[in-house]
Amino acid sequence: MEGRCYHIHVPKPYTPNDKWSQRAAKEGYRARSVYKLMELNERFGLLKTGMTVVDLGAAPGSWLQFAASEVGPTGALYGFDLTPIEAIADNVKTFVMDITDTYGVGETLRKEGVRDADLVLSDIAPNTSGVKDLDQWRSVELATASLAIAKDMLKPNGKCVVKIFRGADFDEFFGGLKLDWQEPKIVEVEVTRDRSREVYVVVRKSMV
């Protein structure tokens, strides 16, 4: 019997599908979203040496990677996500938690000695269902939870950056920010994918 030739299927390695993903892979960042934070940082001067930073919805950790390099060894970073995050740097601690448990997140930070963070970041997005109104409502829910944590944990004049999807509830959400926060701004970043409805809201906690 003549021998047969068997073709073994070997999966192709993952190839990043756009220039930002390719750049992130080349520069050692875990996700293309790092360039969103870089742009926001350049525009608003968010990160400075020695800061205490809280990152909500932090997996896989690209924002923590960049923020850790900016605040340096005298800074401290705390990341929260439902997905475990691989170790990043000595000044970064991560926790597997649901950020909508705002009390639990606050208690965890207080146990770590954090009572006056300089900056709260939230790049979290819901698992999309394809139903735009539902996805946008979930995005508002996550943004609201992030802002509640920020209001509790930020020092006076501290800043918060939150991602949210535009939609039917956005105007009401943004209008409500003016009651509790200083200088709310809506920001679109270059790295956002085409047809995405995401924007970032940047706010500052009152000095009072």
pLDDT tens string 165-194: 998 889 999 999 988 999 999 999 987 766
Q: Is 17 contained in some domain?
A: no
Q: Containing domain of residue 184, as a range?
A: 32-204
Residue 132 falls in the annotated catalytic set? no
This prediction's pTM: 0.87
Q: Residue 188 has what DSSP assignment?
A: -
Q: Is 133 contained in some domain?
A: yes
DSSP strand E in 59-179: where?
A: 76-81, 92-96, 117-122, 154-165
pLDDT tens string 193-207: 666 789 999 999 988
Q: In what order do the strands lie in the sheet with 117-122?
A: 92-96, 76-81, 52-56, 117-122, 154-165, 198-204, 182-187
Q: Is 16 contained in some domain?
A: no
CA nearest 192: which of 167, 168, 170, 165? 165
Q: What is the CATH number of the domain that holds 95?
A: 3.40.50.150
- Measured CA to CA in angstroms, residue 102 lies from 40, 49, 119, 141, 173 at distances of 25, 27, 16, 12, 18
Which residues have CB under 8 Å from 178's CB, separation 6+?
184
Give the separation between CA 68 and CA 88, rounded to whole angstroms: 8
Q: Is 5 contained in some domain?
A: no
Q: Is 173 contained in some domain?
A: yes
Q: What's the total number of domains in the chain?
A: 1
Q: Is 6 contained in some domain?
A: no
Residue 176 is encoded by which pair of tokens? 């409500």
Which residues have CB under 8 Å from 22's CB, separation 6+?
16
Q: Is 159 contained in some domain?
A: yes
Residue tagged active-site, from 111, 163, 178, 205: 163
pLDDT tens string 31-54: 889 999 999 999 999 999 999 999
Q: Is 18 contained in some domain?
A: no
